């Protein structure tokens, strides 16, 4: 890990030694895996787990309840969410989100709470994901829908 990223707040986070964390990040109580890169201006909340060999590009927000498996690419300005009916007062219900291994999420996408993005799926830039996305799907739009499928990890040479 880069020692003492500048202008950053990192509290109670478990970062693999080989994780690369750039300046100006906020990391609270999360777990970051081996060789994963966290770019500048990323904000990650408590109990988020990010696997090995991921790339989290600048200006990404990842709240509590999100799990990201290995080899996942999160493009700039992706916003995850965890509360379907947000308000300032009263109780709220945490909905968990999972991004399975080798998935990629295009720039500026919004991930509604409680969805699973399938293994090796690709989410087009600017999408809003409101439902689960199947493994290997290329999905795009608002709401995001699968428009095609790419070769599965097993089929890849
Ligand atoms: C989704 C994606 C993979 C599709 O790529 P593609 O299969 O080569 O598709 P094309 O560019 O040929 O476009 C096919 C159609 O889908 C539309 N389309 C492409 N990307 C779209 C998107 N993100 N959202 C909505 N529609 C999209 C195109 O307008 C086109 O429609 P048309 O036929 O009516 O003109 C790609 O456009 C994309 O969004 N990639 C993510 C980019 C990104 O965020 N990278 C992050 C690293 S910086």
pLDDT of residue 100: 98
Query: Kind of pairing, strands 137-140 and 145-149?
Result: antiparallel
Q: What are phi and psi of 50, to 5 degrees?
A: -120, 130
Which ligand 1 atom lies nearest to the CA of residue 126?
23
Q: How far apart are CA 105 and CA 110, in angstroms?
A: 9
**Is pLDDT of 1 > 90?**
no
**Is pLDDT of 149 > 90?**
yes
Q: How far is CA 139 from the centre of its chain?
A: 16
Q: Say if CB 138 and CB 124 are below 8 A apart.
A: yes
Please choose from 55, 107, 124 the residue to mutate so as to test ligand 1's pocket, defined by most ligand atoms within 8 A of CB.
124
pLDDT tens digits along 43-64: 999 999 999 999 999 999 999 9
pTM of the full structure: 0.96
pLDDT tens digits along 92-126: 999 999 999 999 999 999 999 999 999 999 999 99
Q: Which CATH number fits domain 9-86+94-149: 3.40.50.1000, 3.30.470.10, 3.90.1150.10, 2.160.10.10?
A: 2.160.10.10
* Locus of tokens 């999360």: 30
Determine the distance separating the centroid of ligand 1 and the alpha carbon of 33, expressed in angstroms.
Answer: 30
pLDDT of residue 156: 74
**Is pLDDT of 4 > 90?**
no
Q: How far apart are CA 88 and CA 90, in angstroms?
A: 7
* Locus of tokens 């988020």: 48
The predicted model gives 115-139 an average pLDDT of 98
32 pLDDT band, cuts 50/70/90, is: very high
């Amino acid at each position: 890990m880069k020692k003492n990223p500048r202008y950053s707040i990192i509290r109670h986070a478990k970062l693999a030694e080989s994780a690369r964390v750039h300046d100006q990040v906020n990391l609270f109580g999360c777990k970051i895996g081996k060789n994963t890169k966290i770019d500048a201006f990323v904000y990650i909340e408590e109990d988020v787990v990010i696997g090995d060999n991921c790339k989290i590009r600048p200006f990404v927000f990842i709240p509590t309840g999100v799990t990201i498996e290995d080899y996942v690419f999160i493009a700039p300005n992706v916003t995850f969410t965890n509360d379907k009916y947000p308000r300032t007062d009263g109780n709220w219900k945490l909905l968990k989100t999972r991004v399975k291994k080798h998935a990629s999420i295009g720039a500026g996408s919004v991930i509604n709470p409680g969805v699973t993005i399938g293994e090796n799926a690709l989410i087009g830039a600017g999408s809003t994901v409101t439902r689960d996305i199947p493994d290997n799907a290329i999905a795009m739009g608002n709401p995001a829908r699968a428009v095609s499928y790419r070769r599965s990890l097993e089929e890849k040479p």
